Amino acid sequence: MGIISWIILGLIAGAIAKLIIPGKDPGGIIVTIVIGIIGAVVGGYIGTLLGFGKATGLNLHSLVIAVAGSIILLLIYRMFARRI
């Protein structure tokens, strides 16, 4: 996937993760995009390790993996942000 595809997938995944797990997070839309992009990478890595496949493009399978990774990353981010 190209960098533009990762950014678009991350934006969508971050927005969906934020809808699934609403709440106040510091950083706003920029942090949501970054969490989405990194979440897509994390989701692809974990999905590959577990045998679900990896994020390969802008398709439903990749979006589900990216959203799952974004949710995991958002929960971790909130745990650390609460402590600070």
What pLDDT does 32 receive?
A: 74
Give the pLDDT confidence of 63-81 residue by residue, as tens digits. 888 888 888 888 888 888 7
For residue 12, what are the domain limits? 3-83
What pLDDT does 71 receive?
A: 87
Give the pLDDT confidence of 9-50 residue by residue, as tens digits. 878 888 888 888 877 766 677 777 788 788 877 787 787 788
Q: Are 36 and 17 in contact (CB under 8 A)?
A: yes
Rounded alpha-carbon distances, angstroms, from residue 28 to 11, 14, 15, 23, 46? 12, 11, 11, 11, 26
What pLDDT does 53 receive?
A: 67
Give the pTM. Answer: 0.78
What pLDDT does 15 receive?
A: 85
54: pLDDT strictly greater than 70: no
Domain count, the chain: 1
Q: Which amino acid is it at 75?
A: L
